[in-house]
Amino acid sequence: MKVLVAGANGHTGRLLVQYLHEAGHEPFGLIRKEEQKAKIEELGGTPVLADVTHSDVGYAVKGMDAVIFAAGSGGSTGADQTEAVDRDGAINLVKATESLGIKKFVMLSSMAAGEPERGPESLQHYMKMKGEADDYLKSTELDYTIVRPGGLTHDESTSQIQVGEKVDQGTISRADVAKTMIACLQEPNAYHKTFEMIQGDTQIEDALKSL
């Protein structure tokens, strides 16, 4: 499967490219900077220079079988970037995917997206913006999956997770988030689903079948 990973130079994005390649898929890494190309190639991906906030992002999506959004403005930028990247950039990519007739889209969202009152004050704007992007994706005809992890860690993968419409606050490794998002591509039971996720004691494949 040809899969575009937006945010491919990010911590989770790099793992997505690596694991997609190892699983026999053909990953394309959407990156913003020329100097990030070598890393994507080293991980087994094909680099694509693009910016999710630009209206012409469709050229990066063309020819793909699926799209994964793992980009994010990060904690060190202001509210304007949260709106531009986490909400509008995500929506931009969803629109490009839909207009090109590609069906599968996996969104890296966040626990409590759309429910800012569940999070700390400092994250409430971010959660609102993530919720708005998720709502847009849900309104489309795409075979979407919206993955809402708790706090992301750099721990090793255990491939053991807990999923649910809502789960208790907790953490999960970026490695297991990446593996779960990839598994969602080919698990029809995960299509048209939104779920929260933390580290747990259920194998990823079984957890997705339980949704």
Ligand X SMILES: NC(=O)c1ccc[n+]([C@@H]2O[C@H](COP(=O)([O-])OP(=O)(O)OC[C@H]3O[C@@H](n4cnc5c(N)ncnc54)[C@H](OP(=O)(O)O)[C@@H]3O)[C@@H](O)[C@H]2O)c1
> Does residue 162 touch ligand X according to CB under 6 A?
no
For residue 144, indicate whether it is catalytic.
no
Helix (H) or strand (E) segment spanning residue 13: helix 11-22
For the CA atoms of 140, 58, 13, 190, what is the dihedral angle to 10 degrees?
20
> First-to-last CA distance in the chain?
24
153 DSSP β-pair partners? 173
Q: Are 146 and 134 in contact (CB under 8 A)?
A: yes
Say how far residue 17 (Cα) sits from the centre of its chain: 12
Question: Which string of x and - marks every residue 167-206 that binds ligand X (by CB under 6 A)?
Answer: -------x--------------------------------
Query: Side chain identity at 35, as an amino acid letter?
Result: E
Residue 94 within binding range of ligand X, rule CB under 6 A:
no
Q: In the stretch 97-116, what mask flags binding to ligand X with x, by CB under 6 A?
A: -----------x-x------
Q: DSSP class of residue 1?
A: -
Of 3, 43, 51, 183, the residue at the interface with ligand X (CB under 6 A) is 51
The residue sitting closest to ligand X, measured at its beta carbon, is 72
Q: Identify the active-site residue in 126, 136, 144, 191.
A: 126
> Roughly what angle, to the nearest 10 degrees, separates helices 90-99 and 124-138?
10
Residues in 114-153 that interact with ligand X by CB under 6 A: 149, 151-152
Query: Residue 54: which of 95, 16, 9, 102 has the closest Cα?
Result: 95
Q: Does residue 53 touch ligand X according to CB under 6 A?
A: yes
Q: Does 12 bind ligand X (CB under 6 A)?
A: yes
Q: What residues act catalytically? A: 126
- Interface residues with ligand X (CB under 6 A) are 6-7, 9-13, 32-33, 51-53, 70-74, 85-86, 89, 108, 110, 149, 151-152, 174
